[in-house]
């Protein structure tokens, strides 16, 4: 039981830390598009 809990806890932070990086890249892409559009 404890082994499964440890694996579950390790998998959750990995996915959570992976999402913000992808969101950051998407936001950065939108910002670049906005700057290019303004120029």
The label of the residue with tokens 């932070």 reads 13
Q: What is the DSSP letter of 1?
A: -
pLDDT 10s digits, 1-39: 555 555 555 555 666 667 778 888 999 999 999 999 977
Rounded Cα distance between 20 and 27, Å, is 10
Total tally of structural domains belonging to the chain? 1
User: What does the pLDDT read at residue 9?
Assistant: 56
Domain that holds residue 36: 1-39
User: What does the pLDDT read at residue 3?
Assistant: 57
């Amino acid at each position: 039981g404890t082994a499964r809990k440890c694996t579950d806890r390790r998998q959750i932070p990995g996915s959570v830390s992976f999402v913000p990086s992808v969101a950051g890249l998407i936001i950065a892409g939108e910002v670049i598009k906005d700057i290019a559009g303004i120029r």
